Chain A
Amino acid sequence: MPETIQRDSLIGKRITKLDAPEKAGGKTRYIQDLDVQGQLYGKILRSARVHARIKSIDTAAAKALPGVHAVITAADVPYQRPIGVAKDHFPLKTDRVRSLRDEIAAVAAETEAIAEAALKLIKVEYEDLPVLADPNDSLKPDAPLIHPEPHGATAKHDHLKQAQGIAYRGKPDNIAMTFDYAQGDVAAGERESDVVFEDTFHLHYVTHCCMGVSGIIAEFDPSGNLLMYSNTQVPFLHKREFAEILNMDPARIRIIQPPIGGGFGSKLDIYPFEPITVFLAKATGRPVKLVFTREEEFLASPTRQPVILTLRSGCRKDGTLTFRTVSTLHDNGAYTSWGATTPFVMMQTISSLYRVPHCLYHTKAVYTNNPYAGSFRGYGNLQATFAVEQHMDMMAAAIGMDPLAFRLKNAQDSGEVTPQGMHFKSCGFKECLSTAAEASGFLAKFKANEADKAKPGRFKRGVGMASMLHVGGGAKIYPSDGCGTILKMDDFGSVTLITGASEIGQGSETVLAQLVCEELGVPLSAVRVINNDTEITPWDVGVHASRTTFIAGNSAIGAAKKARGKILDAAAKMAGLDAADLDLRAGHIVEAKNGTVVMTLAKLLRQLHFSDKAELVVTSFYYEPPSKHQDKHFKGDVSAAYAWATQVVEVEVDTDTGIVRLLKVTGAHDVGRILNRLGLEGQIEGGIVMGQGYALTEELMVENGVVRNPGFRDYKLVTAPEIPEMDVRFIETMDGEGPQGAKGVGEAPAICIAAATANAIHNATGVRIMALPFTPEKVYRALKAKDQHH
């Protein structure tokens, strides 16, 4: 036993993720690798038409196929209820299909091959309906309705469900949702403006491309309890929602999450395949496993929200911003998922990234027969930032200011409360701007490229910047934003941390373990994290809104502090010292002032068994961070802390081909405080690459409701040689409410890249492109158009 131990800390160190060895070794057992004794395989028959009435479904031949245990359609599950954010979506379609992904029937069979063969035997008769493929068409007065209000027998049947709270109601028009926000008087703002720009920006479809495709196993036990192995990001919300849509007692539903092969927001909603698998399990009395093919993953997963955004903004000659007016048309797709609600985040960027006195914001999310949009890392912020940050460059140029000075003049400071009600208690925005600009040599490059633009030459260099603001201290989206922790210590000084927070690859379990080590003075190897079983873990609202480090981190610290108090009290009593003079270091109880070892932690814990105050299990909840719900005018301080970032992108444009190469990204991120430097670097770098794909290569091509590239051959993810050099700097603002001062930054790094790339292409070529992605053909076309113009 050492005589003295000095205080050591894991905070800010480069810590390998706890699950790294098994993932790198190929030993992780994802949903694909799990099999349950006696399981059947589920497959879904999807629509062959984009928009049609279902005239008949004949399942007789499929049912007769040997090895088939069940073939179900909507008629077999009259109890099914609508799912989704607006409850406008039956898992199995009743009388019509509204997009090509729509589920018509499902099969459970002894093998996947039999299930597939059975699908081919199902005969469906359709009567085609006119297709709405453009959200503008959906708003025309004579547009066909995608969700007409039910009538007759359906309406009567639905009446029963209305009484129970969930019902499919239909819509008198194609508008799924609207959002309006106003501050100040934009007309007055415009009168004060010396420069005004108005442009329309087109944001495209992209999808998450999780390496692990969607899947679920559902199983009923003989008592009627439902167990689901599910990849959800929100197990506790799903438990409740599944109970509602299945008309079950939530206490009878248990969700176990196997390691999840990528989330990025895609697993925040319930999708039809999940209840359908439950229906199949119910129909067969057997466990049923359903895993998507990659093609299905492209066709039937949610997308990022495509948006047509018109932005009008102005400033004075001295560089003061005056107003912003925004109108967006969201292509909702055929059903409503979280994509429709991205205005919550978009309006924050519009109103509060910079100081703007007057703002007017309007969104219509309209139904079409296209794929439907869900939530996706950044949640509307990539789209809003793309427009706002291009206008920032355009206004700066118009008044003869450089892009950095113009942004610094209008950037938020700590202490500010914006007209929308967001309170920036810690804010490193200006430091992000100046750090990213300095580290990248932004101003000198910007001016040199401007000068080189007109010179002959095939390759043009450009540099562009963009900044972002995003929630970093939880988000008041649901009535509560809480997370619970159970912390257990054993006789050997080991800690089991049982948290409600899910690990989806983002590294939360490592950070939570680090925070516990910090309080209890144990090595990382002494901590186990349990986080994947609703029967065991305490409640948590889910992985979203960059909240886990902040909320679950504070919850874990709370539990660890309680345990620390108990341990030090007991040790003080045993050693005849004052608890305030003791500390926990490297698995020992020591005197705080000089590190003199009093005893090992393990010994103390064992001795507690012989007292009547063992209590080696503590619980805590971190419930309400100091934030509040937005009022009905969308005003309110929705997060306890906000994350900031500036990214500078350097590009090379090949004017012969339109190919844009990202040479370097310099990022400065206000992260509050670095907890795990390695994890943070990984998250920022991964986000940059995701932003790069959004900016340059990725596009889910949807034509007349048909996805034309449902595979990695023609849906182009960024490949290794395209990844730019990255220089990432961290700004530590030590947030007062954050765990050890940290803020959440999961979404932040993906947000600015497209906007900064747009500005860099302009700096290189003088061409400003307001539609994504910047494919070679699009850039080349724009360059050609400019040449012909001159």
Chain B
Amino acid sequence: MTALDNYVAPTSLEQAVVQLQELGEVTILAGGTDLMPQSHAGRVKFKRTLMNIRRIPELRGIVREGDAIRIGALTTISEMMAHPLVREHLPLLVSAGDHFASDQIRNAGTVGGNICNASPAGDTLVPLMVLDASVELASKPDDTLFRRSMPLPEFFVGPGKTRLAPAELLTAVRVPIPPKGFVARFHKFGTRPALDISAISIGVAGVLKDGKFSQVRVAFGAVAPTPVCGCATQEALEGKRLDAATIAAAAKAAQDEVHPISDVRASAWYRKEMIHNMTKRILEDVSANH
């Protein structure tokens, strides 16, 4: 347990960012599903102030804004999975949520928390990346509320590390509504069907038109310090027909472009093998079903 000097629970975004600016050293509590166990295990030390952001209404809700869907940072994984807009336009997030920890954790854990936690194995990160999502950040360095947005891949720096500035709050994630012909797949590969942390994960998305795959996005989880773009794999697929030769070349490109580590969950060799086999499997599935 960590002793706290200060606890704040702002009730508006305005109040939160002002407090962030004033208090400096702050640990932010959203769902707490990662923060609390990490803190109990002594792996995360609370800063001087613990800020509970759960009472900030602006951080909640899922809305359509023009050609995008805005998912508030405090949206729980369960809320995200159940929301009609997500179910209609972003079914990839529903299927990703289905592999996310357990029901209890999905009921508490938030989308914003999963992103800020910046685990290379975070279950929403790879799907959000292939959906071309960006994050919305807010701060109040002076008298005006400052908002900026950043494409998701740029946000991650390392395990648990992001480009979030010290006085900044992640307010939402914005996902463009995919175009016609859009197909997307997410595969979380763990060694057991429930309550597992990915050994690797793969997201593939693109537009299938006249048999050709374009605007391809590929991302991998748990093979690098952050979720990463599968850029070489994208290139191997862009504008191609998903025939056996293309799929084999893409799977090979995927295997060659990742540089995972060995840890208690899997060896680097096995991770590369699984990146190859699962990329192949996903692409075969896309090819067979469209």
Contact = CB atoms under 8 A, between A and B. Distances in A.
A777 B267 CA distance: 8
A709 interface: yes
Contact of A697 (B191, B197, B270): B191
B14 interface: no
A716 B197 CA distance: 11
Most chain B CB inside 10 Å of its own CB: which residue of A656, A711, A718, A777:
A777
B273 interface: yes
Interface string B264-283: 11110010011001100100
A656 B281 contact: yes
A606 B41 CA distance: 61
Interface in A464-518: none
B109 to A, nearest CB: 15
A295 interface: yes
A630 interface: no
A314 interface: no
A780 B265 contact: no
Contacts of A784: 273
A719 interface: yes
- Interface majority SS (helix, strand, loop, mixed), chain A: loop
A784 B274 CA distance: 13
A656 B278 CA distance: 8
Contacts of B265: 714
B192 A716 contact: yes
A775 B264 contact: no
A697 B189 contact: no
A719 B194 contact: yes
Interface string A705-733: 00011010110101111100000000000
A777 B266 CA distance: 7
Interface in A690-704: 697, 701
Contacts of A709: 264
A411 B270 CA distance: 42
A208 to B, nearest CB: 20
A659 interface: yes
B193 interface: yes
Nearest to A458: B281
B1 interface: yes
A230 B17 CA distance: 52
Contact of B277 (A113, A295, A657, A720): A657
A695 to B, nearest CB: 13
Contacts of A657: 189, 274, 277-278
B191 A720 contact: no
A769 to B, nearest CB: 15
How extensive is the interface on chain B, given as a class?
20 to 34
A113 B1 contact: yes
B250 to A, nearest CB: 16
A720 B194 contact: yes
Interface residues of A, number: 24
Nearest to B270: A777
B264 A708 contact: yes
A716 B41 contact: no
A667 to B, nearest CB: 23
B195 interface: yes
Contacts of B264: 701, 708-709, 714
Contacts of A295: 41
A340 B278 CA distance: 44
A716 B196 CA distance: 9
B119 to A, nearest CB: 12
A776 interface: yes
A721 B194 contact: yes
A32 to B, nearest CB: 16
B191 A775 contact: yes
A719 B192 contact: yes
A776 B277 CA distance: 13
A722 B192 contact: yes
A719 B195 contact: yes
Contacts of A708: 264
B192 A656 contact: no
B191 A716 contact: yes
A659 B281 contact: no
B281 to A, nearest CB: 7
B191 A659 contact: yes
A656 B277 contact: yes
Contacts of A722: 192-194
A721 B191 contact: no
B82 to A, nearest CB: 21
Nearest to A655: B277
A103 B92 CA distance: 51
Nearest to A697: B192
A713 B192 contact: no
B98 to A, nearest CB: 12
Nearest to B274: A657
B191 A713 contact: no
Nearest to A699: B264
Interface string B1-28: 1000000000000000000000000000
B187 to A, nearest CB: 11
Interface in B112-142: none
Nearest to A113: B1
A642 B32 CA distance: 52
A716 B266 CA distance: 13
Given A656-B277, A709-B264, A776 B191 contact: yes
B268 to A, nearest CB: 11
A645 B281 CA distance: 41
A718 B270 CA distance: 22
Given A113-B1, A714-B264, A780 B191 contact: no
Contacts of A718: 192
A780 B193 contact: no
Nearest to A661: B193
A780 B270 contact: yes
A776 B190 CA distance: 9
Contacts of B193: 719, 721-722
Contacts of A701: 264
Nearest to B1: A113
Nearest to B267: A777
A433 to B, nearest CB: 32
Interface in B186-211: 189, 191-197
A697 B196 CA distance: 12
Interface string B150-166: 00000000000000000
Contacts of A713: 197
Interface in B73-99: none
A770 B278 CA distance: 27
A785 to B, nearest CB: 12
Contacts of A780: 270, 273
B108 to A, nearest CB: 17
Most chain A CB inside 10 Å of its own CB: which residue of B192, B195, B196, B277:
B192
Interface in B239-290: 264-267, 270, 273-274, 277-278, 281
Interface in A675-700: 697
B102 to A, nearest CB: 9
Contacts of B41: 295, 711
Most chain B CB inside 10 Å of its own CB: which residue of A657, A701, A716:
A657
A775 B191 CA distance: 8
B280 to A, nearest CB: 8
A708 B264 CA distance: 7
B147 to A, nearest CB: 36
Contacts of A656: 277-278, 281
Interface in A350-406: none
Contacts of A113: 1
3 tightest A-B contacts by CB? A777-B270, A719-B194, A656-B277
8 contacts: A659-B191, A697-B191, A711-B41, A714-B264, A716-B196, A720-B194, A721-B194, A777-B266
Given A657-B274, A697-B192, A722-B192, 10 more contacts: A656-B277, A657-B189, A708-B264, A713-B197, A718-B192, A719-B192, A720-B194, A721-B193, A721-B194, A777-B267
Interface of A: 113, 295, 656-657, 659, 697, 701, 708-709, 711, 713-714, 716, 718-722, 775-777, 780-781, 784
